[in-house]
Amino acid sequence: MVVDLWFVFRVLVFPGFTFIFFFTMFCDWMERKIEARMQNRVGPAFTGPAGILQPFADIIKLLSKEDIIPSGAKRNVFRLAPILAFSFVVFAFSFLPIDGSAVIPNSSFAGDLIFVMALITIANFFLFLSGWASSNPYGDIGATRVLTQFLGYDIPLTLLALAPAFIAGSLTISVIAANQYLPFAILAPWAFVLFIVTLQAELEKDPFDIPHAESEVIGGLETEFGGGKLAFLRLTRDVQIVFGAALVVELFLGGPYGPVFFGLPELWYFLWFVLKILAVVLITEYVTCLFARLRIDQVLSGNWKVLLPLSVLSLALTVAVATWIYPLVM
């Protein structure tokens, strides 16, 4: 029974759902602050100390608003897709080792890297469905853009994730994270940089935020959503951003592992994990602020003509270097 309670605590409170939710809210606040500072603004300032409660206010307000289902929409899909997208991303999150072991204890298995990336793909597909079911021209355009963009970045993303997997000699996330005495970002910097670029597309951030380009397609796939369903769509995107950062940390920055000075190693692992995620979120937000939006055709041809060959090259380079050069040095 004690074991069961511990399991429930881990899944629901820490490092499970509650922690992920609050950490996502914190990252959202940090992103808005960074973006505002980069644009010479202040950003949220009066909602709690330095505006830190702003994301909570947004979510609570959206949840307390009227729930509208447009008459032309596919009712069930329209209602379920945002919640399913959100739960799939959170489910994918629970396979990452946050404080040295995964959220669900002993859930890691051989090849869970592929499984987790498949879960994220499914979450993206539910985002597409939610836009498609809203029967609004802008929603349709946003939804088709999600899929079109997805065709471009999914293969490079998987290929790039294989580079750390090859160096570690395993497709298990916890093994890849534990094998990094030297972070793979140093051993394979080419894959690291390309992975960050491709991740921007996966997270639908600038320069790849075409599916919800405000000046072109209103809110993209979110156009018809209001109230609680919009809250879930926004949450999905925010959790996806944190998840992407967590994936980078696990694959390239040594996961939660770092120096332990005193006391429980779990606490230190957790601290390192959070700090590393914040660093990656900082990088992605920096890129977002620096670059303007591309057109959908530019993204697609760029992904197929530049990113895909580059990711194949990077995998080849990783294999060559890890097989012949690193054994000589280390």
Partner 1 sequence: MSKLATWARLKSPWVLHFNSGACNGCDIEVIALLTPRYDVERFGIKLEGSPRHADVLLTTGSVTKQCAERLKRIYEQMPEPKFVVAIGACACSGGVFKGNYNVLDGVDKVIPVNVYIPGCPPKPEAIIDGVVKLLNSVKEAKPNGK
Helix axes 265-290, 227-252, angle to 10 degrees: 110
Q: By CB under 8 A, is residue 223 in contact with partner 1?
A: yes
Contact region with partner 1 (CB under 8 A), list: 83-91, 94-102, 122-130, 221-229: 221-229
Min dist. Cβ of residue 78 to partner 1 (A): 12
Least distance to partner 1, CB of residue 130, Å: 13
To the nearest whole angstrom, how small is the minimum distance from the Cβ of residue 16 to partner 1? 24
Residues in the chain: 330
- Residue 295 C-beta-side C-alpha neighbours within 13 Å: 3
Which one of 13, 65, 76, 316 is in contact with partner 1 (CB under 8 A)?
65
Amino acid at 155: I
Integer Cα distance of 131 and 222 in angstroms: 6
| Two tokens, residue 291 | 């670059």
195 within 8 A of 160, measured Cβ to Cβ: yes
* Residue of 66, 262, 292, 324 that binds partner 1 (CB under 8 A): 66
| Residues of span 121-180 touching partner 1 by CB under 8 A | 138
Torsion-angle region of residue 262: left (phi > 0), alpha (psi -120 to 50) or beta? Answer: beta
Stretch that binds partner 1, among 65-73, 120-128, 162-170, 309-317 (CB under 8 A): 65-73
> Of the candidates 187, 159, 148, which has an alpha carbon nearest to the alpha carbon of residue 297?
148
Contact 214, 288 (CB under 8 A): no
State the amino acid at position 88 in one-letter form: F
Q: Which residues contact 116 (CB under 8 A, 6 or more apart)?
A: 92, 95, 96, 173, 247
The binder of partner 1 chosen from 18, 64, 107, 298 (CB under 8 A): 64
CB of 226 to partner 1, least distance (A): 4
Residue 75 sits in the site that holds partner 1 (CB under 8 A): no
Task: Residue 113: name the closest of 201, 195, 173 by CA.
Answer: 173
Q: Which is nearer to partner 1, 225 or 252 (CB)?
A: 225
Site string for partner 1, 23-62 (x = CB under 8 A): ---------x---x--xxxxxxxxx---x-xx-xxxxxx-
Reduced to 3 DSSP states, what percent helix, strand and coil does the chain have, rounded to the nearest 5?
Answer: 70, 0, 25
Stretch that binds partner 1, among 119-127, 214-222, 251-259, 302-310 (CB under 8 A): 214-222
Q: Does the protein bind partner 1 through residue 285 (CB under 8 A)? A: no
Question: What residues numbered 224-263 form the site for partner 1, per CB under 8 A?
Answer: 224-227, 230
Q: Is position 204 an interface residue for partner 1 (rule: CB under 8 A)?
A: no
Residues that bind partner 1 (CB under 8 A): 32, 36, 39-47, 51, 53-54, 56-61, 64-68, 138, 214, 218-219, 222-227, 230
